[in-house]
Structure formats: C-alpha cells, structure tokens
Amino acid sequence: DPRVFYVHNFLSADEADELVAFSMAPSTGGTHKAWNQGGSNAKLTTRTSMNAFDITTKLSFRIKRRAFRLLRMGAYKENLADGIQILRYELGQAYIAHHDYFPVRQSNDHLWDPSKGGSNRFATIFLYLSDVEVGGQTLEKDAGVDAGSWEDKLVDQCYSKLAVPPRRGDAILFYSQYPDGHLDPNSLHGACPILKGTKWGANLWV
C-alpha cells in the first residue's frame, strides 16, 4: 500500500502541448474552461495552483478512452469519468496531502460508500505535461516557499517518501478504492512545491 503504478509515455509530446495550449487559449463556445487561482496572497491552507477543465475536446475524449483501456474497464462510459483538470504550478506552489475520493458523509443526496452499493472515485491518473527543473514531485505520503509554512514542511517529505518526479508525457496511476469497494486511506498524496521552473499536469478521475 498504496497501489501506485508509473506509466511511461501515456501521452505524446504533441498531446501534452495541446492540453497546455488549450488551457491558455481564450474560451470558445465549443469548450468549457475556467481558471481558478490561488497563491501566496490568497493565504490558502491546502492548495496553491491554477487549474482549468477540458470537458469537450476530441483530445480529452481520446485520453479518457485510453485511461479506460489502461484500467481494463471495458467500453468507455462518459458518466464514469470526470473532465480533464489541467493544472499549472508556479514557483513555491503546492498541494497539501489529500485524498481524491469524496468523504462518505460528503452529502445526503448520494451514497458515497462503494462498499455499500454507492459510487465514488475509483482511480486517479495524473498526467505530466512538462518537466520541472527542481521540485514538483507527486508525493505519496504514507526557493519561493515561506519558512514554517505547510509548503515548507511538505518539502522535507518530498525527499523522504515515495515521490515521483515530473516527466513530460508520463503518468502515475493510483487507486482510491480497494477491490472490495472500501475506500483506501493509504491513497493520501500531494504535490510538492515548485523550487525552480513551472509544472504543468492534469488530473483524470474515474
């Protein structure tokens, strides 16, 4: 535990560049995209990054179908996958350790416990869209960074735990559930602070 797999060349260089270009281009009527930003001035306690969603492009559907094949899930079903969340981390930005599944008590209008017949996020495929000069590892937990901050404390863990350095076109796959449907608390993970350069990545949740 946790169940983590490294996938070489999940994306081509052109596909990685296309996702980055999509996130930076002006929105059009055929796409759904919005940037959300957090930074040092925002005093966020969990995440400092920018993100946008690619929900409707041909590339996003092609990548999601590829993810289904990787997971051996059979025929692609749109309702079983979220849109692709494209992320940009600048100097000092990071994401504190967290789970990708929703808490069982997230809301009363949906059963979030798969072990009792409900549904929740089953797996995450994180796509690396760029290399990073220093920092930016994806940290499986179980320079522009303020001393004593949560980002600063995260740096030490980034070099002492299972930490995956960004490599453009590669991906990591990890599961949020056990095979029996119980949620896996060992899927706790985070994004290490960027110490030099910029990190581009993307989340795909199934």
Residue spans of the domains in the chain: they are 4-26+33-205
- pTM to 2 decimals? 0.81
State residue 41's pLDDT score.
38
CA–CA distance, 140 with 157 (Å, rounded to integer): 9
State residue 20's pLDDT score.
93
Residuewise pLDDT in 10s, the chain (206 residues): 678 899 999 999 999 999 999 988 876 544 445 445 444 333 444 455 678 888 889 999 999 999 999 999 988 898 898 889 999 988 888 888 889 999 988 788 889 999 999 999 999 999 999 987 666 677 665 544 456 666 566 666 676 667 778 899 999 999 999 999 999 998 988 888 888 888 999 999 99
CATH superfamily of 4-26+33-205: q2cbj1_9rhob like domain (2.60.120.620)
CA–CA distance, 193 with 199 (Å, rounded to integer): 10
State residue 141's pLDDT score.
55
State residue 40's pLDDT score.
38
Token output for 117: 């017949």
State residue 6's pLDDT score.
93
In DSSP terms, 201 is beta-bridged to 87, 128
Residues 6+ apart with CB under 8 A from 15: 59, 63, 169
**3-class SS of residue 99:** coil
State residue 143's pLDDT score.
41
* Residue in 121, 7, 25, 16 with CA at minimum distance from that of residue 59: 16
- What value does the CA radius of gyration of the chain take, rounded to a whole number of Å? 17
